[in-house]
Structure 1
Amino acid sequence: MDKSPDAFRTISEAAEELDLPQHVLRFWETRFSNIKPLKRGGGRRYYRPEDVLLLKGIRHLLYDRGFTIKGVQRILKDQGIRYVIGIGEGRVMEPVVHRPVDEEETKSRPSLPAPGPRVSILRTGSSAALDAADREKLASVLRELLDCKRILERAREG
């Protein structure tokens, strides 16, 4: 039986919903002070629905948009938790940051394969800014991709 959307999730349920290992969620708790699951006897974690949405937003920024942990921390500080939750809900958001990538941040970043396609124009502050029509086209494609992702997730569950 599926849980209500308003039900709390165990760490295993949250990890499965996010398609992440449990240890990643525990690690993120050490890096993002906004992630605060309820902890019950024996240290069991229970994530509220808004915690899961926040985790989805963080996952999207890290894995799909290519931000570093420091970059996501900065977004949480500058834009707020509601902004990142909105990303987790699949709402199309304006470009997050218009700044050059910090060279020190790049040097300290481990060299891993890219987790997915990146739109560097949104993170680097390139002078080739997108006009409104291009942003709308990208937003439309993103909505379609998120719809496809939801359909695939439902198919996997069914």
Structure 2
Amino acid sequence: MKARGIAKSATAFRTISEVSSELDVPQHVLRFWEGKFPQLRPLKRGGGRRYYRPEDVELLRQIQSLLYGEGYTIKGVQRLLKDGQVDGDPENRRGSLGLDEPDALETPLEGPPDAADADPDEAEEVSDAASETMPSAVRQAIAQALDELKEARLLLANGEGK
């Protein structure tokens, strides 16, 4: 990173704009992740300005990789961080979560269910099954968008969105 023509040391603290630029992640997403991952605690100075330590930036890099690269959901990454499984091998992570874990990467079903064969009372089950056939990256993007909308709703309800 360069600030005014001078390169910052690897141990220097970074502002949210510098981290956002470095990771190519919008600032609002970084702030959202702070609320979702208690392990992420940048220093906050006067006026609420954030300063990220090198270890914060590395954690953000890992979160970004898990969410966008490996297709985990926020809950899945929260579980990995809680269990201390972030730095390991991706194959070991998937195996350790187990097949019954809803937040683990899932293999799509053989094919989409045939809605014509479904009982109208089972329409919701068909919808849920159909969503499992979506690529995990699409499911993750939808889940993240939903989480962001819920967060925005809370902010608006608390009068913080003004």
The answer to whether TM tops 0.5 is yes
How far residue 104 of structure 1 moved from its aligned partner, in angstroms, is 8.7
Equivalent residues in 2 for 1:1-158 (5 A)? 1-79=6-84, 84=86, 86=87, 95-98=92-95, 99-100=98-99, 102=101, 114=137
Question: 1:100 and 1:113 mapped to 2: Cα distance?
Answer: 15
How far residue 100 of structure 1 moved from its aligned partner, in angstroms, is 1.8
Residue 139 of structure 1 aligns with which residue?
Answer: none
1:31-90 residue CA offsets vs partner (Å, 9 max, x unmatched): 0000100000000000000000000000000000000000000001112xxx53x47xxx
1:113/1:21 CA distance change after superposition, 3 Å: farther
Question: 1:64 and 1:104 mapped to 2: Cα distance?
Answer: 15
How far residue 94 of structure 1 moved from its aligned partner, in angstroms, is 5.3
TM (norm. structure 2) is 0.56
Secondary structure (helix, strand or coil) at the match of 2:93 reads coil
1:31/1:2 CA distance change after superposition, 3 Å: same
Question: 1:63 and 1:47 mapped to 2: Cα distance?
Answer: 21
Give the conservation status (yes or no) of the 8 Å contact 2:42–2:53. yes
Residue 114 of structure 2 aligns with which residue?
Answer: none
Give the conservation status (yes or no) of the 8 Å contact 2:42–2:50. yes
- Unpaired runs of 5+ in structure 2? 1-5, 107-127, 139-162
Root-mean-square deviation (CA, aligned residues, Å) is: 2.8
Secondary structure (helix, strand or coil) at the match of 1:46 reads strand
TM (norm. structure 1) is 0.58
- What is the one-letter code of the residue matched to 1:17? E
How far residue 114 of structure 1 moved from its aligned partner, in angstroms, is 2.8
Give the conservation status (yes or no) of the 8 Å contact 2:73–2:103. no
Structure 1 stretches of at least 4 aligned residues deviating more than 3 Å after TM superposition: 101-107
Sequence identity percentage: 55
- Unpaired runs of 5+ in structure 1? 116-158
1:36/1:70 CA distance change after superposition, 3 Å: same
- What is the one-letter code of the residue matched to 1:51? D
Q: How many residues align?
A: 105
Question: 1:96 and 1:54 mapped to 2: Cα distance?
Answer: 16
